[in-house]
Amino acid sequence: MRGVSCRLLASAVLLGGYLLCAVATPAIADTVCDQIDPQTGVCLVWVVVDVPDTDPVDDGPKDTGTGASCYWDGTKQGINRPPPGPVPCSSEYGYWSNSYRCYIRALVPQPPAGDPAWQGHEPGDGAVYDCYQPQTDLLIHIWSADAPENSGAGPSPRDVAQIAIDDMALRAINIGITPSPAAGRIGLVGMPVWMWAQSPDDHTYGPITATASAGGITITATATVRKVTWQMGDGTTVVCDSAGTPYQAKHGKQPSPDCGHVYETSSAGEPGGMYTVTATSAWVITWAGAGQTGTIRLDGLQRSVEITVGEAQVLVD
């Protein structure tokens, strides 16, 4: 609370971001009252207060960006130092090529015909390039029919990870819920509702792993569901950190041990007389490759069903 002290309050009510202080007028005889309740004669004082943020805190992993397009990986040549990692995409020696693992620059002028650098080709058939590795201080000549790739103009590791994610064909969970959304099935106000991922598999709950390559970069990505957020249709949100437990008849009226809800009102006043229940999956994808690692969040996959919830009928003789 800021500003005005309420030690002399007769009563106080918090309304939004304000505290309504009702103060008996004799207690503030030495002050000027700006607003008096016409019915009670009590002075009303409005005090600005800090209202805590009630939004849930996202404690999940953070998205770690794109990664660097150009990287050194000497392990493919049996060289262990320095370890794999990002490198500048250009230098005084030319542009970087992930495939050749060196800086590329066309020789000017090109070697004469018959020079060993042509590797049996004739001038005009491709070109000869300098290939310089600052990691090993090695300069060699290479021949290529086309200009070696410029990795600085190519995809980022995140772009390649996204190709792997697309190959995973991730989907929203298939909703399992009691009461069943089947026609003629009705739940009751006050009875436990169970929610779960119906027959979860690699594509609907994970984990699932895929590998993709592009621009001289190879990335392996692994995806798994971190949580499922359930919008119950009555204004309630339930966050479940697991796939949930499928309901069985033996559970009777017990509440779900890990993912459940209880409706306090019937769905009679809703469109079609049913609650729309929506489950949104929050996927986390970790990727590794090109001497780097990263994380991608995917939160938008969802599926909905409609269920009916009624009031229990009491028969009176």
Where are the domains positioned within the chain? 11-48, 71-153, 157-310
Tokens representing residue 247 in the block:
């309901």
Q: Name the helix (H) or strand (E) containing 160.
A: helix 157-168
| Contact call for residues 68 and 292 (beta carbons, < 8 A) | yes
Q: Name the helix (H) or strand (E) containing 15.
A: strand 11-15
Which residue in the block uniquely carries the two structure tokens 């030495």? 30
Tokens representing residue 303 in the block:
């599926």
DSSP state of 162: H
Q: Which residues pair with 90 in a beta bridge?
A: 95
Q: Which residues pair with 213 in a beta bridge?
A: 218
| pLDDT on residue 315 | 45
| Contact call for residues 4 and 15 (beta carbons, < 8 A) | no
Tokens representing residue 65 in the block:
């960006």
| pLDDT on residue 60 | 78
| pLDDT on residue 199 | 96
| pLDDT on residue 58 | 65
Measured distance CA(272)–CA(266) in Å, rounded: 12
- Grouping H, G, I as helix, E, B as strand and the rest as coil, residue 57 is coil
| pLDDT on residue 37 | 62
Nearest by Cα to 290 from 218, 215, 220, 209: 218
pTM for the model stands at 0.73
Given a cut of 70, the residues of the chain with pLDDT beneath it are 1-59, 313-317
Measured distance CA(196)–CA(246) in Å, rounded: 6
Q: What are the C-alpha distances in Å from 229 to residues 101, 251, 282? A: 45, 23, 8
| pLDDT on residue 210 | 98
Measured distance CA(160)–CA(305) in Å, rounded: 35
Q: What is the pLDDT of residues 7-28, one digit of tens each?
A: 333 444 444 444 444 444 444 4
| pLDDT on residue 41 | 65
Distant-in-sequence, close-in-space partners of 128: CB < 8 Å, separation ≥ 6: 106, 107, 110, 111, 115, 117, 118, 141, 142, 143
CATH number of 157-310: 2.60.40.10
| pLDDT on residue 205 | 98
| pLDDT on residue 54 | 42
| pLDDT on residue 32 | 62
Which residue in the block uniquely carries the two structure tokens 């805190």? 57
| pLDDT on residue 75 | 79
